[in-house]
């Protein structure tokens, strides 16, 4: 039994925050952000819109496009570091919103690698033969944990959601291979210090701005380029493939310079690499499924094509997945 992605979907909030908007909030410039990151604008939620709101939009599009009844969904996995609340899980909120009464589900915290972790989990559960249809979504409301007075971080991220419907199939397509990794010694370089059991919310944690994302950008940058390129080369080699055989490389969108450096180290041509960071910024767990849905919509991916996904993020976490489409 294989697990095949039969449908893709994405949702980004309507509101757009441009680099020029950010110029009015912190000491930065459109020129700096574009040249250092490749980002021109990002989407951000309105007050009251949440990760479950965006994930529900994606789940409903998946059901609509695939003409699937919510009652037929067995499993909902949501990758996010910005759930609506610590519990119940975003998956529970989405399950109720779409009326998937027979589904169970959970949230998975894998930061920017979250969608790959979730896709691996979902596909193994479907491949076990026990579950037929799983919704796997990557969603993040990064604007809820950004300090819009810190130019080092607030310009980099955006809000969004993307997801897939995984279905059991006797075809030989689907996830062909995966390599997923974690190195917790890198945790301190990209994290949100407070709000968990270590530092529960208090006046002190709020005063010290500990409920915002903190990162050492340069350390993350170096790690990202090396790990993303290494893991892609490893998965290609162990499948007896070279870059030319890959129709589309969909990397996590954190910084265009990271993508360019990793793609160059692997030997991908510009045409093989999906880049949409200019429109969305880094939407954390959502970048890869958003990119996948755009590629499907634009007709870039055809049945039988080999697709390479790759991500890195907080943890440090990283990984790569090889798919055969259709
Ligand atoms: C954050 C990042 C864009 C910074 O780019 P960089 O080329 O490393 O820039 P530096 O950190 O060397 O900063 C250079 C200068 O620009 C300044 N700067 C930082 N953000 C700025 C901004 N938005 N606008 C203007 N100047 C800015 C810095 O303060 C620094 O000034 P200084 O030299 O006076 O101290 C880059 O390190 C990066 O993308 N890192 C990875 C982040 C990431 O991917 N995170 C998510 C992982 S999933």
pLDDT at 12: 98
Quote the DSSP letter at residue 134: E
Q: What is the CA radius of gyration of the chain?
A: 19
Distance of CA 310 to the CA centre of its chain: 10
Cα-to-centroid distance, 54 and ligand 1 (Å)? 29
User: Which of 160, 142, 281 is CA-nearest to residue 213?
Assistant: 142
Q: Which pLDDT belongs to residue 1?
A: 85
pLDDT (mean) for 82-95 = 98
Report the b/e string of 92-106 with b at 16+ CB within 10 A. bbbbebbebeebebe
Of 51, 68, 172, the C-alpha closest to 114 is 51
Q: What domains can you pick out in the chain, each with its CATH number? A: 2-172 (3.40.47.10), 176-324 (3.40.47.10)
| Residue owning the nearest CA to atom 39 of ligand 1 | 255
Atom 40 (ligand 1): residue with closest C-alpha?
Answer: 217
Distance 217 CA to ligand 1 centre (A): 6
* pTM flag (> 0.95): yes
Q: Enumerate the active-site residues.
A: 112, 252, 282
Which of 221, 257, 258 maximizes ligand 1 atoms within 8 Å of its Cβ, making it the mutation to test the pocket? 221
Nearest residue (by CA) to ligand 1, atom 7, is 36
* Element (DSSP H or E) covering residue 91: helix 90-98
What element of type H or E holds 137?
strand 133-141
For the chain, give percent helix, strand, coil, nearest 5.
Answer: 40, 25, 35
Instruction: Look over the chain and give the mean of its residue pLDDT values, rounded to a whole number.
Output: 97
Tell me what pLDDT residue 172 has.
Answer: 85
CA–CA gap between residue 63 and residue 95 (Å, rounded): 12
Query: Residue holding tokens 């407070």?
Result: 194
**Residue 266 Cβ < 6 Å to ligand 1:** no
Per-residue CA distances from 111 to 7, 15, 141 (Å): 23, 23, 12
Confidence of residue 123 (pLDDT cuts 50, 70, 90): very high
- Residue 171 confidence (pLDDT): 86
**Residue range 8-66, pLDDT digits in tens:** 999 999 999 999 999 999 999 999 999 999 999 999 999 999 999 999 999 999 999 99
Q: Tokens 């960071």 map to which residue? A: 277
Segment 239-292, tens digit of pLDDT: 999 999 999 999 999 999 999 999 999 999 999 999 999 999 999 999 999 999
* Dihedral-angle region of residue 29 (phi above 0 means left; psi in -120 to 50 means alpha; beta otherwise): beta
Q: pLDDT (tens digit, 9 = 90+) per residue, 196-215?
A: 999 999 999 999 999 999 99
């Amino acid at each position: 039994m294989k697990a095949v992605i039969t449908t893709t979907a994405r949702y980004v909030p309507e509101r757009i925050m441009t680099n020029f908007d950010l110029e009015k909030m912190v000491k930065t410039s459109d020129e700096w952000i574009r040249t250092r990151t490749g980002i021109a604008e990002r989407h951000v939620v309105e007050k009251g819109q949440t990760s479950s709101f965006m994930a529900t939009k994606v789940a409903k599009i998946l059901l609509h496009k695939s003409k699937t009844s919510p009652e037929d969904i067995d499993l909902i996995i949501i990758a996010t570091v910005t759930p609506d609340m610590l519990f119940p899980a975003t998956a529970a909120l989405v399950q109720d919103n779409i009326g998937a009464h027979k589904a169970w589900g959970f949230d998975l915290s894998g930061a920017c690698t979250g969608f790959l972790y979730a896709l691996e989990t979902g596909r193994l559960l479907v491949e076990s033969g026990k579950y037929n249809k799983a919704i796997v979504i990557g969603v993040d409301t990064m604007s809820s944990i950004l300090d819009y007075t810190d130019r080092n971080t607030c310009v980099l991220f955006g809000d969004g959601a993307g997801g897939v419907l995984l279905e059991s199939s006797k075809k030989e397509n689907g996830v062909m291979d995966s390599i997923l990794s974690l190195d917790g010694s890198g945790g301190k370089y990209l994290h949100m210090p407070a709000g968990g059991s270590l530092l529960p919310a208090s006046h002190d944690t709020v005063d010290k701005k500990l409920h915002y994302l903190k990162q050492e950008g340069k350390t993350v940058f170096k790690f990202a380029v090396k790990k993303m390129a290494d893991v892609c080369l490893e998965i290609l080699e162990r499948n007896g493939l070279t870059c030319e055989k890959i129709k589309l490389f969909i990397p996590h969108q954190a910084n265009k310079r990271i993508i360019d450096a990793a793609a160059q180290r692997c030997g991908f041509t510009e045409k093989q690499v999906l880049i949409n960071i200019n429109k969305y910024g880094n939407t954390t767990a959502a970048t890869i499924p958003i990119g996948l849905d755009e590629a499907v919509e634009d007709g870039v991916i055809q049945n039988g094509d080999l697709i390479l996904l790759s991500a890195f993020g907080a943890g440090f976490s990283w990984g790569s997945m090889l798919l055969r489409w259709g």
